[in-house]
Amino acid sequence: MTTLDLPPVTAPAPAGAPPAPEPPRPEKRVKLGGITREDVFTLAGSLAGSLALDWMLYERILPFSGALGFLVCWYLLFLIGYFALGRLQWGPLMVRERLVSVVAWSSGLLVVALIADQIGYVLLRGLEAAKHLNFFTESMDHTAALSPITSGGALNAVVGSLEQLGLATLFAVPLGIAAAVFMSEVGGRMARPVRTLVEAMTALPSIVAGLFILGIVILTFGFEKSGFAASLALTVMMMPIVTRAAEVVIRLVPGTLREASYALGGSQWRTVWNVVLPTARPGLVTAVVLGMARGVGETSPVLLTSGFTSQFNGNPFSEHQVSLPLYIWNYVKQPYPEMVARAFAAALTLMAVVLILFVTARVLGGRRPGQLTRRQKRRIERGARRAETAARAVPAVTVTTAATARTARTATTVPAGEH
């Protein structure tokens, strides 16, 4: 007898019963971040399509001309095309996220391109003079307008800039940090006017600082134009930068450190000096370097207060003293190619100085407030090893001392006749 394989018979669902739930759909993995093939094709298509449409509008339809307008129109059409293509394949939220990402990346690339263009232009124009060693070892006191490029240099300007910047830093840093400590730690009714004054000085035009020193120090008190007067003008420009940055850094110090210092009996002055400022030291160094980078490139205050000279002057308190910005301003406007090349070489030197200052700020301010340096960590490790070694030596000393005491006690208890 053969058996037939029949499908199972299911009983009909009773009337009024809820329908059976559908089986769950398989989960779809969503990839967060990264660049997919669709992103690349969408970006390339938007660029190509917007370029073709822009060319057709500029060359065939609209009476427009100019490279700048062409690029701006191309960028706007690219954003519109990217949004339209993205809307065909993604949801609204993802389209907005991708569009903002494209705007951010394109803005960053534009800034980098502008900086690279400026550096390349200055390097191209100033390399002719900067490649000769005499540019960094000689001054312009024996160099005429038609002298060859191998004669004269910017030694006087480099020394003048360093001396003026050093004096300005010596004046601005204590005043700026003291003002920041007053606004963040002391407070009171005078904190708001001081903060308002600092914010107003931050947006102060540099020419006003030069006029202030010119009118007060030079014309009123009778001081001559010198590097010292220029350093005072740079102090006016640097102090609000240092104050604002230092205030922000001091406010980032955790309040629990202050409370712990007060709980141990420390006064407010001791807490600020021994707890707050050491904790904020990396940020304070960054604030100081940023202020120095602001002051090293100022031209207007130096033009009104230091005077110009082609001779070497290493004394900032006597006679005129030139600096790199003033050196550039004086020689770049002359109609002689050698002088213009020297000016661009000085600009290249100034850019190198600013780059060194910002790299120094990044290196010194890389660690967070309160984070230990490598030297401090090594010092703590050496102290821990010495303490561990001393702790291991304590039981042996204790055993030796106990044995000595037991021997002495036995010797004192032996009867006299047994000797």
List the domain boundaries for the chain: 38-130, 137-371
Query: What pLDDT score was predicted for residue 398?
Result: 54
Q: Residue 331's closest CA among 207, 99, 157? A: 157
Q: Report yes or no on whether pTM surpasses 0.75.
A: no
The CA distance from 277 to 272, in Å, is 6
**Residue 419: pLDDT above 50?**
no
Query: What pLDDT score was predicted for residue 386?
Result: 86
For residues 375-388, average pLDDT: 82
- Which of the four pLDDT bands, split at 50, 70 and 90, describes residue 10? low
**175-190: pLDDT as tens digits:** 999 999 999 888 888 8
- Which of the four pLDDT bands, split at 50, 70 and 90, describes residue 366? low
For residues 62-75, average pLDDT: 86
- Which of the four pLDDT bands, split at 50, 70 and 90, describes residue 385? confident
Query: What pLDDT score was predicted for residue 310?
Result: 87
The CA distance from 358 to 314, in Å, is 26
The CA distance from 127 to 346, in Å, is 10
Query: What pLDDT score was predicted for residue 414?
Result: 46
Average model confidence (pLDDT) for the chain? 84
CA-to-CA dists, residue 406 to 394, 399, 409, angstroms: 18, 10, 5
**Residue 290: pLDDT above 60?**
yes
- Which of the four pLDDT bands, split at 50, 70 and 90, describes residue 417? very low
Lowest mean pLDDT: which of 83-87, 215-219, 349-353, 366-370?
Answer: 366-370
- pLDDT-above-70 percentage for the chain: 84
**109-126: pLDDT as tens digits:** 999 999 999 999 999 999
Task: Provide the H-helix boundaries in 296-336.
Answer: 300-305, 324-331
**Secondary structure class of 86 (helix, strand, coil):** helix
The CA distance from 352 to 359, in Å, is 10
**212-252: pLDDT as tens digits:** 999 999 999 988 999 999 999 999 999 999 999 999 999 98
- Which of the four pLDDT bands, split at 50, 70 and 90, describes residue 389? confident
**Residue 129: pLDDT above 50?**
yes
Residue by residue, DSSP assigns 273-296 as IIIIHHHTHHHHHHHHHHHHHHHT
Query: What pLDDT score was predicted for residue 418?
Result: 45
Lowest mean pLDDT: which of 138-142, 284-288, 291-295, 377-381?
Answer: 377-381
Query: What pLDDT score was predicted for residue 180?
Result: 93
**Residue 360: pLDDT above 90?**
no
Q: Which fold has domain 137-371?
A: MetI-like fold (1.10.3720)
The CA distance from 356 to 298, in Å, is 17
Query: What pLDDT score was predicted for residue 62?
Result: 81
Highest mean pLDDT among 7-16, 299-308, 386-395: 299-308
